Amino acid sequence: MIIKPNYRGFICLTAHPTGCYKNVEDMVKKAKSAPIAPAKNPKNVLVLGCSAGYGLASRVAAAFSCGAKTVGVAYEKECDGKPGRTATAGFYNNRAFMELAGDKNHITLNGDAFSDDIKEKTAEACKKLFGGEKIDLLVYSLAAPRRTDPKTGEVFSSVIKPVGKPYSGKTVDFHTGEVKEVTIDPATDAEAAATVKVMGGEDWYLWIEKLKADGLLAEGFTTVNYSYIGPELTHAIYKNGTIGRAKDDMLIYREKIDKLLKPLNGGAKVSVNKAVVTQASSAIPVVPLYISLLFKIMKEKSLHEGCYEQIHRLFADKLFGNENIIRMDDYEMRADVQAEITASWPLIDSENISRMTDIEGYRREFFGLFGFMRGDVDYDAEVEP
């Protein structure tokens, strides 16, 4: 079939297998061209949420810059063969990774990482792949809209809302470039609590508890989870909203995991990363406009990093240091960068957005997540979905 973008708002319903393959191939080339010093290299790595964004970048860095064996877990949909339907981008990304890396040193599991069943299957996969060796790094990079509690069976759904009072602010429809005001009602207590259950630290803790009980964690084991804080401009909808509460919960569980790992001389870390284009970030009002402006400024200052560049810097320079909270958003939060954002923000409107921001770059990166808008792919050619 000929595959074109079929999207609704921040959701793209189709993905291009060739474009996704080339996205992963680009990351692999970068990883191979910049090996990480052996002293810092993890050898046996488990990546939870390995199919896109920071999770995929982490797996590529571990495999191709560090030479590690990896087990990856993600919940992706295959193509069901119905007309006009494709697999998810994450499915194609995982397939591309396995084709480029080979299956001798890597295993990918497709299933619900929140479930006890996948935790058990993952533990068995780690035993099989790593042999007598144990896991020395676990990357937790799950992003899901809902979670089923493995003990009670209750399903929790997350929401992206402010807490306490309504939020009004400027946002953009990144498809059309229309800048408009948006008002979002605050979350109920139940919605905020459910978001914490989905996006907080409980499942991270359950994974570490399970793998430690199975004797699968190495001496000096490290685990890292990814977070975001952002500037005051986005705090009402992010840091001080329902997502922020979940991230606060993650920090509480980081301390609990740290104590759990003390007998192994191991530790839990949170990496606070910079703003990047993901399907999740595209769903948050204000954020696409902020990122479009941020990208323009950071590119002009030669500070811009994509997902892979940031994760490579994390692995090479900071992950195995002494910091428990790692600030990978250091370039984004530089005073000169934020000063320009503060000065430009009130001036942006639908007429000048293309000049004042990198809205086209945002749009290109969004569709790029699904394998589209690449210059080296013929999108008019038939492809097997």
Q: Per residue in 10-68, pLDDT tens?
A: 889 999 999 999 999 999 999 999 999 876 789 999 999 999 999 999 999 999 999 99
> CA 107 to CA 72: how far, in whole Å?
6
What pLDDT sits at residue 132? 87
At position 265, the amino acid (one-letter code) is N
User: Is the separation of the CB atoms in 162 and 110 below 8 Å?
Assistant: no
| Beta bridge mates, 167 | 184
Indicate the pairing of strand 135-140 with strand 167-173. Answer: unpaired
Q: Is 69 helix (H, G, I), strand (E, B) or coil?
A: strand
What pLDDT sits at residue 269? 98
Q: Which of 291, 302, 346, 355 is nearest to 169 (CA)?
A: 346
Q: Per residue in 93-115, pLDDT tens?
A: 999 999 999 889 999 999 999 99
Mean pLDDT over 248-275 rounds to 97
Range name among 8-12, 141-145, 231-235, 269-273 with the lowest pLDDT average: 8-12
Whether pLDDT at 7 is above 70:
yes
What pLDDT sits at residue 39? 67
At position 243, the amino acid (one-letter code) is I
What pLDDT sits at residue 280? 80
What pLDDT sits at residue 151? 92
What pLDDT sits at residue 12? 92
User: Is the separation of the CB atoms in 308 and 31 below 8 Å?
Assistant: yes
109's enclosing H/E stretch is strand 106-110
- How crowded is the C-beta side of 357, counted as CA atoms within 13 Å? 31
> CA 359 to CA 348: how far, in whole Å?
11
Mean pLDDT over 214-234 rounds to 96
> 3-state DSSP helix/strand/coil percent for the chain, to nearest 5?
45, 15, 40
Complete domains list, the chain, with CATH: 7-151+190-286+304-335+364-368 (3.40.50.720)
Average pLDDT, the chain: 95
Q: Report how far apart the first and last C-alpha atoms of the chain are (Å, whole number).
A: 7
- How crowded is the C-beta side of 253, counted as CA atoms within 13 Å? 24
| DSSP code for 179 | E
User: Is the separation of the CB atoms in 250 and 204 below 8 Å?
Assistant: yes
Q: Which residues are known to be catalytic? A: 238
Question: In sequence order, what are the residues at sequence separation of 6 or more whose Cβ sits closer than 8 angstroms to the Cβ of residue 240?
Answer: 162, 163, 164
Q: Is 47 helix (H, G, I), strand (E, B) or coil?
A: strand
User: Is the separation of the CB atoms in 48 and 42 below 8 Å?
Assistant: no
User: Is the separation of the CB atoms in 341 and 294 below 8 Å?
Assistant: yes
pTM: 0.96
